[in-house]
Amino acid sequence: MNRPYKFSIGDVHFVGAYTKETVLAAQNYQGSPDDIYLSTYPRSGTTWVQNFLIGLVYGCDALRDTKNFDEIFPYLEVDLNGVRGYEEAEKSLRRARLLKTHLPPHMAPSQLVFENRKQIIVVRNPKDVALSLFQFYQKQPVLKAALENKDLRAFLDDFLVGNVLYGSWWNWIDAWLRKYWANSMHYNFSPPC
């Protein structure tokens, strides 16, 4: 069996459709001020929110073009058979561009952190995320190979310590909430995470 391409940058783990080059290029991505970023931990309702935003920003007719979903809403750090998300974003003529990332703040496009671009962060219950992520691992051949025949209990142990795709859910959520609350005048307390 071919083992999937796996690597980590710090405590953030990648398996399959990513390269260090695409992750670093996404981090250095320079968009435009009218771009709208969707930041989610994997399996947090990303596709549902993407569809909602496409309809809201581009109109319902754009939702019929499901064959070009990745062109309409590029996934910045991914490399699917040589099609790199950040390059798809650059080619897009749409304004405002809708851009997706699962990267935590310390790896996300720097303009999100330092220039306060338009961003939507989706948070989902960690139990639901973990179960959805386990099912996703089972359905995707490259991820299934990364499971190494683990059952749900073993996978949940890995999830709890962040030994899964994109690392710790808790660290991801805590980092984005701290970034938001640090830049917001509405909150003067620490997040509960």
Catalytic residues: 102
Beta strands in 102-170 (DSSP E): 118-122
Amino acid in the structure at residue 159: F
The residues, ordered by sequence, that sit 6+ positions from 67 with a Cβ below 8 Å of its Cβ are: none
Q: In Å, how far are 33, 61, 70, 130, 145 from 135, measured between CA atoms?
A: 37, 31, 22, 9, 13
